[in-house]
Amino acid sequence: MVELSNQYLTVNLHPKGAEIISIVGNQDHINYMWKRDACQWANSAPILFPIVGAIKNDTCRIDGKEYHMTQHGFARHNEFEIKNQSQTEVTFTLVSNDEIIKQYPFLFELNVTYKLVENTLTCFINVKNKDHQTIYFQVGGHPAFACPFMENESSNDYYVEFAEYETRNQKVIDVAKRGMSHVQLPFFDHEKRFFVRQQLFNNDAIVIKDFKSENISIKSLNHQKSIVFHMQGFDHVGLWTAKHVGGLLAIEPWIGHADYVDFDGEFKEKESCVALDTDKEFNVQFAVEIKQ
C-alpha cells in the first residue's frame, strides 16, 4: 500500500491495478471512496486497459489471431511496479510480460501517476508504445465514490451535476448479451443534473459520449460537502452504481466502451480504439477534488 498525504487529504493506493483505495479528508475524517464491500463490488478504482467494458465472448481478434481477456482488461489484475514515490506523488508502471502477451500481443509501458495538490488528487495515465508496430488499445478509470458520504444519510438526497448544460443521449447496454446495443435514448435536454435513483441504473451504467463538461460533481441537498470529478482527454463517461443502491456511485472516464453486441471485427476497429505509433506516447488524466 502507498500513502500520499498533505494537510487536506490522506490517500491510500494499491499497486494491484494502480487503484485508489481511500481518500480521507483530514478535516472531517470521511473516506470519500467506496468502502469496497464485496457484497456489491470488491474494488474501488482500478485502471482499465487495454479494453473498457467487455469484449464479445471475452475474445478479440488481432491480425487474425484470437486472444482472450475478461471485462475491463488485465491491468486491474496485475501488480504495478512502484516508482518515484514521495509524500505527495507516486508512479505505478506496468509493462508487457510473457503472461500479458498471451492476452495482448503488443509491447507497451503503462504509467499511472497520482499527484496530491491541496484538496485534489490527480491521476495521469500515460501509455508508451514499445513495439515495432502501431499498437491499439482503449483506456479508462473506474473510481467509485461513497454515496452518501456519511452513514446517517440517504443517497436519495444526492444528485449528480455536470459542469455545463448538456443535450446528450444515453447509450444503452444490452445486459443479457454483455455488450453495447445500438439503441440510444434521450438523457439530457439542456440539463445538467439528476438525482441518484435506482431505476436510472437498472440497465447497468449510464454511458454518455462527447459530453461538453470538464467535470461532474456529486452533491447533497443537506450540506456543502462534494466531490468534483475532472476529466481531460476522454470521449465517454460511464455513471454506475451496484444493483441495489447502498453507498456506491462510480464516475468512469473512458476512451471506448464494451463491444457492440454484433461486433465481429478486428480489435483495431473497435469504437474509440487508440492507434499509437512506435515510440509515441498517449496521455489522459482525471482528478478528484474533495470539498469538505
Q: Which three cell numbers stand for residue 238?
A: 460511464
Mean pLDDT score across all residues of the chain: 95
As a whole number of angstroms, the distance between CA 112 and CA 134 comes to 21
As a whole number of angstroms, the distance between CA 100 and CA 113 comes to 21
Question: What percent of the chain clears pLDDT 90, i.e. is strictly above it?
Answer: 88
- Quick: pLDDT tens for 107-134: 999 999 999 999 999 999 999 999 999 9
Q: Please say whether the beta carbons of 91 and 113 come within 8 A.
A: yes
Farthest-apart Cα atoms in the chain, separation: 56
As a whole number of angstroms, the distance between CA 102 and CA 85 comes to 31
pLDDT surpasses 70 at 180: yes
- Quick: pLDDT tens for 38-90: 888 889 999 999 999 999 999 999 999 999 999 999 999 999 999 999 999 99
3-class DSSP state for residue 271? Answer: coil
pLDDT surpasses 90 at 197: no
Closest-CA residue to 149 (of 224, 207, 94): 224
185 bridge partner residues: 170
Question: What percent of the chain clears pLDDT 70, i.e. is strictly above it?
Answer: 99
Write out the E strands in 81-133: 81-83, 89-95, 108-117, 120-129
Structural Rg of the chain based on CA atoms? 18
Mean pLDDT, residues 130-156 taken together? 95
pLDDT surpasses 90 at 196: no
As a whole number of angstroms, the distance between CA 218 and CA 144 comes to 11
| 200 CB neighbour count, 10 Å cutoff | 16
pLDDT surpasses 90 at 202: no
**In the structure, what pLDDT confidence band is assigned to residue 247 with cuts at 50, 70 and 90?**
confident
Higher pLDDT pick, 213 / 151: 213
pLDDT surpasses 70 at 245: no
Any alpha helices (H) in 45-196, and if so which ranges?
A: 98-103
pLDDT of residue 191: 96
